[in-house]
Structure 1
Amino acid sequence: MSLKSRRGARSILALASLATAALALSACSPAASGAGGSSITVTASTGTLTENFNPFSPTALPSTNGVIFEPLYWYNSASDAPPTPILATDFSWNDDGTELTVTTREGVKWSDGEDFTAADVAFTYNLVAETPELNTSGSAATAEAIDDTTVVLHFPEPSFMQEPSVLGNRGIVPEHIWKDVADPTTEVNSDAVGTGPFVLKEFTAQSYLLEKNEHYWDEGKPAIDKVRYVSLDSADAAAAALIAGKVDWMSSYLPDLEQLLKDHDNLSYVNTPALTTSIFTCSNAELGCTGPQTDPAVRQAIYHAINRDQLNQLAGGGFAGTSSPTMVIPGRDDDWISDPELATTPPSADADEASAILDAAGWVPGADGIREKNGERLSLTVQTVSGWSDYISLNDAMSQQLADVGIELNPVQLAWNEWNNNQMMGTFQLSLDSIGLQPSNNPYFVYNKWYATSQTLPVGESASAGNSSRYSNPIVDDAIHAAAVTIDEAAQKEQYATIQAEIDRDLPYIPIYVNSMLTEFNTDRATGWPTNDDKFALPATWKNWDNGIVLKELQPAK
């Protein structure tokens, strides 16, 4: 399992293992590097590192986007703040949403000393438009540089809601380098030239070193001279290295975290829950889904029968946040929730409500207590990935909770590839997964990706666009489209009210809780990390864009 995963509780190693991990890291830790200047170490992943600093690649290494390459604007997933200017200073739409005019920042240089201009921005978007394999966000933008600081992005139809993806989720590349790249889809970009706060110095299969970009445009930043990303054998090894003082920044779930860190004043953590752990259902019989979960009444009964407080304590370590049936994040996104009754999921089980729903739908208790209807047992298989131990704990607990209302839950553990293929192809009944981060906190991105008919396909075809539940509702589709063609938030909220009422009833994805996103820090070598009171960025080490914001705000410890 990757360290970036928000899933998978890991046990803490014994003291002997701590010593082993410390020795393994000694060759690459700041204290042992022998290099001058301030330096920190970050966990990159588990296993062997594969060199890839291509900002267009979905498998680029964690520091590529945000640390080496920058977007035009940065959207903070940890708050509801407006976008922060990075390589641009202003933007505006025309009235019908088909043109986006961007003013680029003056005085920026590439890390090789060449000037950055609007022509680089236009080149980047045109390269994506001309190379469909690079267009993972679905952007339809083409671009024209009007002068050195003005670029106009053109869209074939109203595209207001592409704004966060276009402005905030695209690393800008230098035309003078990339115009000569033979194949941008396979380029590993070993000599990466970017505008970000750090540049690549050296790479091995176990670690890579970044150094301060001496041409960086943001005066006085970064204050840290070097950042080394390391690969460790497991999340346990990373935890051991953190305790031993060999790693300064990591993102991993650690059981009993507060107890673990209480004797280490130099260690801290921040929790930024932003991923709604949910039961994904193959919900649509018309598109080929089979099983009791295609009955909305069954999905509603599951929603009411689970005890979320108990699940949080058993599987979430008590760090999980409250979810919402609207699938936005309570607290952060309250302004987008139309009905106060839909603000949060119920914390405890309501077995009477769940049973009443099943009774009304014709599911009657069988001789063994498991309900049945027309000869079909209310027995469901739920899949998760072997090794995701918090999700395995969820399944074990929910099996007992659902049995109380006559639902048999059969958990299975699969290799990640099989689990993912089943979910994409629709060959599953229930699956544990998360509704994840999007280009901005506007609910449009959640609703379009996971609920729009355009984002799914019949069972047997890969719903890689996101809607793996095969959900299809013309009322929801119309509301998503209406929200997409306006930047009037009041008008969008009207459409979201319609969507929220529909998905609360249909529940193709059944929310459990907002899973913890724990990130740990060592303050011996650097200070200025995000805190639970000041989440100035989403601090997960794997989070594109935010990682660069965190690194350039750090100060060497005194």
Structure 2
Amino acid sequence: MRSNLLVLTSSFLIALLLVALVSHIVYPVNYASGEEEEYPYGGTFRVGWSETLDTLKMGQEIAWSLLGCAILSTVYEELAFMGPPPNYDEFVPMLATSWEVSEDYTTWIFHLDPKAKWHDGKPVTAGDVAFTVKYLIKVPVWNGTDTDAKEVEIIDDHTVKIVMKQPITLSVPLWWVPILPKHIWWDYRDDILSYDNKEAIGSGPFILEEWEPGKYFKLKANEDYHLGRPYIDYLIFKSYSSEDALIMALLKGEIDMIAPYALSPSAAHQIMKEGNPNVNIKIDTGDSFYWLTINLKRPGLLGDLLRNLEFRKALAYSIDKSKIAEVAFLGYADPVDVPIYKEMDYYNPNIKGYEYNVTKANKILDELGWKDIDGDGIREGPDEITDLILNLLIIGTNPYHVKIATSITEDLAKVGIKVNVVPVDDSAYWNILGGGPENIEYHLILFYEAIGPDITFALEPLLTGSWSNVGGYSNEEYDELFYNFTSQPDRSKRVKIARRMQEIMLEDLPVIYLVNPNALTAYRTDKFEGFVFGIGGAWTWFSPWTFRKVHLKPGLVEKPKPTPDYTPWIIAGVAIVVAVIAIVYAVKMRGRR
């Protein structure tokens, strides 16, 4: 009898315990891992752009357009990358988990993350890095001082040695170059630009799901990203044909952010006047500099004039930079003499630029023998035949180019120089510049570049043979200083070198630096948070962190529960049935006795 009671009691307790366990099953909540705290992931983050991208070929358009850089920094990945603001002097691991460098800063050994995979599932290996170094760098737009390697050696599947031609002391080699999958690009190694790259297989935090040239890109989070998936599920880049359409899309909530530099100062004012409580505008130091490049390779009498330093000084005195800042940017820009931020120790506080002075400009032009003989408002040369008419190349679809060109045209007209503005579309502009200064038919080129805090990019446009040296300037002292700068590990000595290079910029005047516009980011605050602001705003080519960090506000959206697992309930049910049978059996046995 006592044994029957024991069976009865034990069966009941087991059943009760199983039911209790099942009733306390906890459904997991989906969270992305964060450095300090966890945030819910999900949602689609939409960014509006004013520019378009018609190709994913690894050429100039994707490398030097902002939208192209957005694709590169999300779909692809580098060995290492410039750290989040304000830590611009630090370089954080990406595909490489660590690296060592020789005492002379030329030999670098990178250790790759064995967890890194391409979007097609194949592993990222040292062979992919070696392929990129050997073949992508041959494309001029990817070839720079910090990418120009002398040799590359595969040590093992996840270790690669790169020997650079020049010491790299300021950064990490190839930090801005996307590593390409060898197994996809191998057949195009001798002509990288012949591959259309429509699928864009990378190893980055987002996967290209679909795109329509010139219209939009839809990226989805890479669930297997070796550094941890992004918080958002989808990232959409959508191009708009007009600024009004961009503004309306933001105010209606169709997009969550307008990309910096897609928003003009007048549009920012318009958004502010709307007073939408869910829309904010952040003003940051801009990463772009505009300058006027003088083509020193033009033939003939006008070419000789452009090569005359005194004439270039007259041009500099003729241009009212403060007016450009007001007219083109409504005051959201700073006039500059050199492309280096004044807050940096590299900036030379003792340089003296060329202030706006029409009187000085006229005096120089008169002394050069260019005078308005026939009274038509345009100066003629010493031959009394050649009119002082200069052709200025600009991007006609860029409103800032148009406004700056208009201001320069007005200013130079005051000193007897006529400017013919030649507007072309973005692709044609870069194609023209890619032909080299000797083949550029224009006297002046309005140029801009998103330089940012990497001072190498600020100094490189005047280096002999540099892709961005579109005016053909060459100075042996400047070149020597540049290479000394990039190979010098002592920062105090680099500062001294950089300050001398700024003096040469103003002594030779191969370009006339104009303005540094502020970065204006318009974004919604009702759904997402985690924006990362710095030089260039919430996103720029050297600061991709917003797209990795932005996330839904916690608690904003109720997350769907995962499909429940009924296995525990089945087990518990079986246990209860067994327990009931045991109880019935025990009762019957007791009754028989």
* TM-score after normalising by structure 2: 0.71
Aligned mates of 2:156, 2:251 — CA distance in 1: 52
Which of 54, 59, 64 is the matching residue for 2:62? 59
2:307 to 286, 294, 316: 294
Equivalent residues of 1:129, 1:135 under 8 A apart: no
Q: What is the distance in 2 between the residues matched to 1:235 and 1:279? A: 26
Aligned to 2:142: 137
Instruction: Note closer, same or farther for the CA distance 1:184–1:410 as it changes in structure 2 (3 Å cut).
Output: closer
- Distance (whole Å) between structure 1 residues aligned to residue 100 and residue 301 of structure 2: 44
Native 8 Å contact 2:292 2:446 kept in 1: yes
In angstroms, what is the RMSD of aligned CA positions?
3.6
Q: Secondary structure at the match of 2:90?
A: coil
1:150 to 159, 178, 192: 159
Judge conservation of contact 1:277–1:433 (CA < 8 Å) in 2.
yes
**Alpha-carbon distance change, 269 to 187 in structure 1, aligned in 2, over 3 angstroms:** farther
CA separation in 2, counterparts of 1:42 and 1:101?
A: 37
- Encode CA deviations 1:484-535: one digit per residue, 9 max, x unaligned: 44333333333333322222022111111113443322223311223xxx41
- Letter matched to residue 535 of structure 1: G
- 1:431-470 residue pairs with structure 2 within 5 A? 431-434=445-448, 436-438=449-451, 441-448=453-460, 450-455=461-466, 465-470=467-472
Question: Which residue of the partner structure matches residue 209 of structure 1?
Answer: 218
Matched, 1:265 2:280: no
Match of 2:339? Answer: 327
The Cα offsets for residues 372-393 of structure 1, whole Å up to 9 and x where unpaired, read as: 5524554433333334343333
Task: Report the CA distance between 1:153 and its aligned residue.
Answer: 0.8
- Residue ranges of structure 1 left out of the alignment (5+ in a row): 1-35, 456-464
- The CA deviation string for residues 267-301 of structure 1, in whole angstroms up to 9 with x for no partner, is 22344422221121113568997163332112212
Aligned partner of 1:91 in structure 2 is 99
Residue number in structure 2 paired with 1:539: 538
Asked if residue 309 in structure 1 is aligned to residue 322 in structure 2, the reply is yes
Provide the identity percentage: 21
Please tell me whether residue 197 in structure 1 is matched to residue 214 in structure 2: no
TM-score (normalised: structure 1): 0.75
Name the aligned partner's letter for residue 538 of structure 2: P
Q: C-alpha offsets along residues 400-445 of structure 1, whole Å, 9 cap, x if unaligned?
A: 33344x23232323323665566542311222221x135x744343
**Separation in 2 of the partners of 1:150 and 1:523?**
43
Q: Does 1:410 align with 2:422?
A: no
8 Å CA contact 1:208, 1:229 repeated in 2: yes
Task: Name the counterpart of 1:551.
Answer: 547
Counterpart selection for 1:125 from 122, 127, 130: 130
Which among 413, 423, 426 is matched to residue 440 of structure 2?
Answer: 426
Residue in structure 2 matching 1:41, options 36, 46, 52: 46
Structure 1 residues 545 and 108: alpha-carbon distance in aligned structure 2, compared to 1, 3 A threshold = farther
Structure-2 separation of matches of 1:57 and 1:364: 41
The alpha-carbon deviation at position 158 of structure 1 amounts to 2.9
Residue 222 of structure 1: CA displacement? 1.6
Q: Which amino acid aligns with 1:201?
A: E
Secondary structure of the 1:341 match is: coil
Q: For residues 391 and 192 of structure 2, what CA distance do their matches in structure 1 show?
A: 42
Q: Retained in 2: the 8 A contact 1:381–1:411?
A: yes
SS at match of 1:171: coil
Question: Distance in 2 between the 1:377 and 1:528 partners?
Answer: 57
Bigger Rg over Cα: 2
Residue 290 of structure 2 corresponds to 277
Shift of 1:194: 3.7
Q: What secondary structure does 1:265 align onto? A: coil
Deviations 1:35-63 (A, max 9, x none): x941122235656x7573x6688538555
The equivalent of 1:518 in structure 2 is 520
The one-letter code of the counterpart of 1:213 is: N
How much does 1:184 deviate? 5.5
Matched-pair contact (CA < 8 Å) for 1:279–1:432: yes
Aligned to 1:454, the other structure's residue is in SS state: coil
Q: Which structure shows the higher helix fraction?
A: 2
Quote the residue 2:398 is aligned against.
388
Aligned to 1:5: none
Residue by residue over 1:454-487, the C-alpha shift from the partner in whole angstroms, topping out at 9 and shown as x without a partner, is 34xxxxxxxxx22221212222222223334433
2-structure distance, mates of 1:421, 1:103: 37
1:230 is displaced (CA, Å) by 2.6
Q: 1:121 to 1:352 in 2, by over 3 A?
A: farther
Which residue among 485, 504, 507 is the counterpart of 1:505?
507
After TM superposition, give the deviation of residue 135 of structure 1 in Å. 6.2
Task: Specify the SS of the correspondent of 2:442.
Answer: coil
- Structure 2 counterpart SS, 1:103: strand
- What amino acid maps onto 2:263 in structure 1? Y
**3-state SS of paired residue (1:167):** coil
Q: Are 2:247 and 2:267, in contact at CA under 8 Å, matched by a contact in 1?
A: no
Q: Classify 1:307/1:267 alpha carbon distance in 2 versus 1 (closer, same or farther; 3 Å).
A: same
The change in CA–CA distance for 1:56 and 1:151 in structure 2 (over 3 A counts) is farther
For 1:500 and 1:255, how far apart are their aligned partners in 2? 30
Q: Partners in 2 of 1:276 and 1:282 — Cα distance?
A: 18
> 1:229: how far off?
2.7
The number of equivalent residue pairs is 490
Counterparts of 1:295 and 1:488, CA distance in 2: 37
- Gap regions ≥5 residues in structure 2: 1-40, 557-593
1:129 Cα deviation after fit: 0.7
Distance 1:386 1:194, change over 3 A: closer
